Chain A
Amino acid sequence: MHQDQWPAGSGRHPSAAQGRRAGRWTRQGLGIGVAMALALAAVAAQAADVTVSAAASLTNAFKALAPAFEASHPGTKVLLNFAASDALLAQVAKGAPVDVFAAADQDTMERAQQQHLLAPGTRHDFVANSLVLITPVDGGLLLKSLADLQQPAVKRVALGKPEGVPAGRYAKGALEAAGVWTAVAPKAVYAQNVRQALDYVARGEAEAGFVYGTDALVQKDKVRVLLTVPTDTPIRYPIALIQQGPNPAGAKAFIDFVMSPQGQAVLAGFGFSRP
């Protein structure tokens, strides 16, 4: 098999070399095979895993919620997936193996329902939030109303892109209601999710930005809340069980935990209020 690789007079005994090489190849082949089998086994999610797709603004709260849930449900592991609500919906609609979906607005959950992705009767509002206008603590501006965003000192306004981020939709709606959207839109810097908008302001790259009240708390040493922005619809987060999810029992247990006094207490600790 390897004969042609050993030129005559190479000083090595061909058959012995062959034997050694064959042994090595077999061992390596076995090793690779075992590694691949392990990798494949890891790809198939464990039956006891609950995959939760949650809005970016829930990042810190759900990271604290997951261990509490796991402690009261031994053997169950929570896999968290954070992004803008619309991006999460797009993943689920494409068949991502998600058990629980927690969105930041009713609009996104409505679209999930229309696409028949939710298990009927499992949709609940679980927290409420507020939209705030923020500025960097360091060298920030003093703005008293949304109309003040038209000032020349405000060069950039960070907000989630309205077509993909609920916080951006709320912000656009509020600016439209205040009659200043056309004036502010040229200054807009669109973020992939609300936490990116928060980061833009915290780093001082934007003079102002729209995030949730709970997000501003996460970076309270870097951003200051200027005002709470009135929204046309109250900001209530819905949660629901995904019909095609691999672990419906785990999903139900997780949603029950979120709605329970214990789960609500964790969420309240991060500034979320009751719906």
Chain B
Amino acid sequence: MEAAWVALALSLKVAGWATLLDLLAGVAAGFALARLRFPGRELLDAVLTLPMVLPPTVLGYYLLVLVGRRGWLGSWLYDHLGIQLIFTWQGAVLAAAIVAFPLVTKSARAAFEAVDPQLERAGRVLGLGEWALFFRVTLPLAWRGVLAGVLLAFARALGEFGATLMVAGSIPGKTQTLSIAVYEAVQAGQDDTANVLVLVISVTCVMVLLGAGRLARPRAMA
């Protein structure tokens, strides 16, 4: 039981950080795709959507080759900063963030595209700078769509398994998230542990979905 709470806490920590990273990068990418005109825009969109389509094992392998100690990015990180991502919870965050990233980008792009350009023009006429315009007009108008994407990303990050297992391994209390703990328990034939774990993760997911539904409901509630 103790182990289930440790795994839950770790899962929430990993999914939370991954979602925060996705929020920042996903909003920037979504905005760029919606507003900027540059060659290869649709190609970039397709590449950014890849993590949603590719099998998690393929992503895990890419990450292993890229940030592993022999990988070109991983060896640089290790030699210059002493950072090793493989087998760490930060590695799990990286895997979860990449897998969930398209959910934020896609929703954000659609939400930004739906913002009426007239309102932005009005803001400009009234003397707002580009940054103020984004944070006071565009983002508030697109916020509901962005938030829906962020919540989906959180749920996806919480359930991430394949890429995480390949990159972060399964170290109890360190990188063994709930979904991996379930797999371990079933593999070892420990059905009692598995029962507790799946119950915990199911209840958590229902709570996340209820929260998402509450946030996404029209403002008439307030």
Query: A84: which of B169, B171, B187 is its contact (CB, 8 Å)?
Result: B187
- Measured CB to CB, the closest approach of chain A to B78, in angstroms, equals 10
14 contacts between A and B (CB under 8 A): A83-B187, A84-B187, A86-B187, A86-B188, A90-B187, A93-B189, A156-B87, A161-B184, A161-B188, A164-B188, A189-B171, A190-B172, A200-B169, A205-B68
A163 CA / B70 CA spacing, docked (Å)? 30
A172 CA / B189 CA spacing, docked (Å)? 20
Q: Mark B173-196, 1 if CB is under 8 A from A, else 0.
A: 000000000001011111000000
User: Which residues of chain B have C-beta atoms less than 8 A from A161's C-beta?
Assistant: 170, 184, 188
Q: Told that A86-B188, A90-B186, A203-B69 touch, could you supply 10 new A-B pairs with CB distance under 8 A?
A: A86-B187, A93-B189, A161-B184, A161-B188, A163-B188, A189-B171, A190-B172, A191-B169, A204-B68, A205-B69
A-B contact count (CB 8 A): 46
Query: A205: which of B86, B165, B172, B187 is its contact (CB, 8 Å)?
Result: B86
Nearest to B186 among chain A residues (CB) is A90
Closest 10 pairs (CB-CB, A-B): A90-B189, A87-B187, A164-B188, A204-B69, A205-B86, A204-B70, A163-B188, A189-B87, A189-B169, A164-B187
Q: B189–A203 contact, CB under 8 A?
A: no
- Measured CB to CB, the closest approach of chain B to A116, in angstroms, equals 15
Q: B70–A90 contact, CB under 8 A?
A: no
Check if A192 is an interface residue, CB within 8 A of chain B.
Answer: yes
Query: A86: which of B70, B169, B170, B189 is its contact (CB, 8 Å)?
Result: B189
Q: Mark B2-35, 1 if CB is under 8 A from A, else 0.
A: 0000000000000000000000000000000000
A194 CA / B188 CA spacing, docked (Å)? 15
Interface residues of B in 52-95 (CB under 8 A from A): 64, 68-70, 86-87
User: Which residues of chain B have C-beta atoms less than 8 A from A86's C-beta?
Assistant: 187-189
Check if A56 is an interface residue, CB within 8 A of chain B.
Answer: no
Size category of the A interface is 20 to 34
User: Which residues of chain B have C-beta atoms less than 8 A from A93's C-beta?
Assistant: 189
Query: B189: which of A89, A191, A200 is its contact (CB, 8 Å)?
Result: A89
Query: A203: which of B70, B165, B186 is its contact (CB, 8 Å)?
Result: B70
Nearest to A199 among chain B residues (CB) is B64
Nearest to B189 among chain A residues (CB) is A90
Interface centre among B68, B169, B186, B190 (most CB of A within 10 A): B169
A200 CA / B170 CA spacing, docked (Å)? 12
Q: Mark A87-129, 1 if CB is under 8 A from B, else 0.
A: 1011001000000000000000000000000000000000000
Residues of chain B having any CB pair with chain A under 8 Å = 64, 68-70, 86-87, 165, 169-172, 184, 186-190
A191 CA / B180 CA spacing, docked (Å)? 12
Q: Mark A175-201, 1 if CB is under 8 A from B, else 0.
A: 000000000000011111000000010
Q: A190–B169 contact, CB under 8 A?
A: yes
- Measured CB to CB, the closest approach of chain A to B172, in angstroms, equals 8
A90 CA / B193 CA spacing, docked (Å)? 14
A89 CA / B171 CA spacing, docked (Å)? 23
Interface residues of A in 69-95 (CB under 8 A from B): 83-84, 86-87, 89-90, 93
Nearest to A188 among chain B residues (CB) is B171
- Measured CB to CB, the closest approach of chain B to A85, in angstroms, equals 11
CB contact under 8 A between A192 and B187, given known A204-B69, A205-B86: yes
- Measured CB to CB, the closest approach of chain A to B194, in angstroms, equals 10
User: Which residues of chain B have C-beta atoms less than 8 A from A156's C-beta?
Assistant: 87
Nearest to B86 among chain A residues (CB) is A205
User: Which residues of chain A have C-beta atoms less than 8 A from B188's C-beta?
Assistant: 86-87, 90, 161, 163-164
CB contact under 8 A between A203 and B187, given known A190-B171, A191-B169, A192-B170: no
Q: B170–A205 contact, CB under 8 A?
A: no
A161 CA / B176 CA spacing, docked (Å)? 12
A263 CA / B94 CA spacing, docked (Å)? 46
A192 CA / B87 CA spacing, docked (Å)? 14
Q: Mark A42-72, 1 if CB is under 8 A from B, else 0.
A: 0000000000000000000000000000000
Interface centre among B64, B68, B186, B189 (most CB of A within 10 A): B189
